[in-house]
């Protein structure tokens, strides 16, 4: 309900409160700027968006969040647990949340068994990896291993007969996160074994597709030049477009900026399909370890990029700048785009830049808090 839209919008709000074993829904049509909802007696907990069906954000008080997080497995559906993480992350982005609220919430969900909830948690962890400096990163990695390790161990090392697809996917997602954001030695060793098995004459038949995919990504992050070239060879030898794209995308994930720079050169050759090139370059641009070098490549090859690829794809490539957290680089990007407009995607590119500045502000606001919390 903002003046910019001139028309007030009524918002259907559904709350749920709990007292003992009794839960009660409270429905409110919010058609004014604010409303106070009376509740009979004391309540144990409150959910601000029952079943996650409302199109609004929820900002619980500190005490209410602590209580609800502690009982999340008991009283919240998977969608509500997902929404709890989503809302706290949105509050942090908006400058209304805090690391002090978010970290305990994530720890309280460490026993969760839902794929969507874990994917949202892992996406927050990926952002933490962008917000910390190299000195703090080992502490973050230890925190990640402690948070995700038990859940991964509970699932076992491999798919079992009759296992649900979402469980299989969860194992792979946790293994990937623990091995990359947590730098877990054992998971990286297992990934290498799976990667080598997939390249053997046996073809790695005993490794499920989800873990095989995770293994390629894990191995790629720490690849040396020889391993990187092996991934490239597998991409060129792939029998399906999906397998080729899996391996080509992994080339963009290397921690070594020089290897990522080599990948950027490949994007401008026939080795990578035109329809895939800028989407893969976007992935390289979002690589925390290589963003500055990839952006320099984009600047230096701007005319060639615009000649070689459809103009409609350029704004999609530039989505990668959303993850930039360094003010100096962001200023450089904004200045370049101001001097090199893309008429076909002006609005989209403006949105990318707005999100980039949100990321910069987030880093400047909470990085020190995250460092202190992990100490």
Tell me if 254 is assigned to some domain. no
Task: Assess contact for 229 and 190: CB atoms under 8 A.
Answer: no
Put the strands of the sheet holding 45-47 in their side by side order.
22-30, 11-19, 45-47
Give residue 8's pLDDT: 77
pLDDT of residue 242: 94
- Model confidence pLDDT, tens digit, residues 30-61: 999 899 998 888 899 999 999 999 999 999 99
Residue 232 within any structural domain of the chain: no
Torsions phi, psi for 54 (to 5 deg): -90, 145
Banded pLDDT at 1 (limits 50, 70, 90): very low
Integer Cα distance of 266 and 292 in angstroms = 18
Which pLDDT value is given to residue 313? 94
Residue range of the domain that includes 85: 1-102
pLDDT of the residue at 117: 99
**Do residue 76 and residue 175 come from a single domain?**
no
Please determine, for residue 276, whether its predicted confidence score (pLDDT) is greater than 80. Answer: yes
Using DSSP, state whether 101 is helix, strand or coil: helix
pLDDT tens string 316-359: 999 999 999 999 999 999 999 999 999 889 999 999 999 999 99
Confidence of residue 232 (pLDDT cuts 50, 70, 90): very high
Average pLDDT of the residues in 356-374: 98
State the Cα angle at 221 between 215 and 226, rounded to 5°.
90
Check whether residue 79 and residue 128 sit in a common domain.
no
Mean pLDDT of 298-317: 96
CA distance 348 to 363: 23
131 and 187 both lie in a single domain = yes
Judge if 119 and 191 occupy the same domain.
yes
**Domain-located, residue 331:** no
How many structural domains are present in the chain? 2
Q: Is residue 82 part of a domain?
A: yes
- 212 in the same domain as 127: yes
Local structure of residue 157 (DSSP, 8 states): S
| Judgement on whether residues 67 and 45 belong to the same structural domain of the protein | yes
Which of 102, 129, 148 is the C-terminal boundary of a domain? 102
Residues 8 and 82 in one domain: yes
Whether the pLDDT of residue 202 is over 90: the answer is no
Residues 49 and 56 sit within 8 Å (Cβ to Cβ) = yes
Residue 345 resides in a domain:
no
Residues 6+ apart with CB under 8 A from 213: 172, 246
Instruction: Record the pTM.
Output: 0.94
Instruction: Looking at the structure, tell me whether residues 214 and 114 fall in a common domain.
Output: yes
Per-residue exposure over 345-361, b if at least 16 CB sit within 10 Å of its own CB, e if not? beebbeebbebbeebbb
Q: Token pair of 145, please?
A: 């291993």
Any domain includes 153: yes
Domain boundary among 218, 237, 254: 218
Which of 65, 84, 102 is at the close of a domain?
102
**Confidence at residue 9, expressed as pLDDT on a 0 to 100 scale:** 85
CA torsion sign for 269, 274, 278, 283 is negative
pLDDT of residue 333: 99
pLDDT, residue 201, reads: 59
Question: Residue 248 and residue 227: Cα distance in Å, rounded?
Answer: 13
> What is the tens place of the pLDDT at every residue in 62-112?
999 999 999 999 999 999 999 999 999 999 999 999 999 999 999 999 999
Strand-pair partners of 17: 24, 46
Assigned domain for 287 exists: no
163, burial (CB in 10 Å: exposed 0-12, middle 13-18, buried 19+): middle
Tell me whether residue 44 is in a domain. Answer: yes
- Token duo for residue 57: 């954000």
């Amino acid at each position: 309900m903002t003046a910019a839209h001139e028309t007030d919008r009524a918002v259907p709000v559904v709350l749920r409160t709990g007292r003992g074993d009794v839960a009660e829904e409270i429905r409110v049509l919010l058609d004014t700027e604010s409303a106070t909802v009376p509740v009979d007696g004391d309540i144990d907990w409150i959910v601000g968006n029952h079943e996650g069906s409302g199109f609004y954000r929820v900002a619980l008080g500190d005490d209410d969040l602590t209580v609800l997080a502690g009982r999340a497995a008991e009283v919240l559906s998977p969608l509500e647990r997902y929404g709890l993480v989503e809302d706290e992350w949105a509050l942090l982005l908006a400058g209304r949340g805090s690391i002090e609220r978010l970290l305990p919430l994530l720890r309280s969900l460490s026993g969760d068994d839902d794929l969507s909830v874990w994917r949202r948690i892992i996406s927050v962890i990926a952002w933490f990896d962008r917000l910390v400096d190299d000195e703090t990163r080992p502490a973050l990695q230890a925190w990640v291993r402690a948070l995700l390790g038990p859940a991964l161990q509970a699932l076992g090392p491999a798919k079992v007969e009759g296992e649900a697809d979402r469980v299989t996917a969860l194992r792979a997602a946790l293994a990937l996160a623990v091995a990359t954001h947590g730098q877990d030695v054992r998971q990286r060793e297992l990934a290498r074994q799976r990667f080598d098995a997939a390249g053997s004459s046996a073809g790695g038949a005993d490794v499920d597709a989800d873990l095989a995919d995770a293994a390629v990504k894990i191995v790629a992050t720490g690849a040396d030049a020889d391993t990187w070239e092996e991934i490239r060879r597998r991409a060129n030898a792939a029998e399906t477009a999906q397998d080729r794209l899996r391996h080509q995308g992994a080339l963009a994930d290397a921690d070594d900026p020089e290897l990522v720079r080599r990948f950027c050169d490949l994007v401008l050759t026939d080795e990578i399909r035109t329809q895939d090139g800028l989407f893969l370059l976007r992935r390289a641009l979002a690589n925390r370890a290589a963003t500055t070098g990839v952006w320099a490549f984009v600047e230096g090859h701007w005319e060639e990029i615009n000649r070689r690829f459809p103009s409609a794809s350029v704004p999609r490539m530039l989505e990668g700048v959303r993850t930039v957290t360094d003010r100096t680089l962001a200023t450089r990007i904004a200045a370049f785009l101001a001097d090199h407009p893309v008429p076909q995607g002006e609005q989209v590119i403006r949105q990318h830049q707005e999100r980039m500045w949100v990321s910069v502000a987030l880093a400047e606001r909470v990085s020190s808090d995250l460092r202190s919390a992990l100490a």
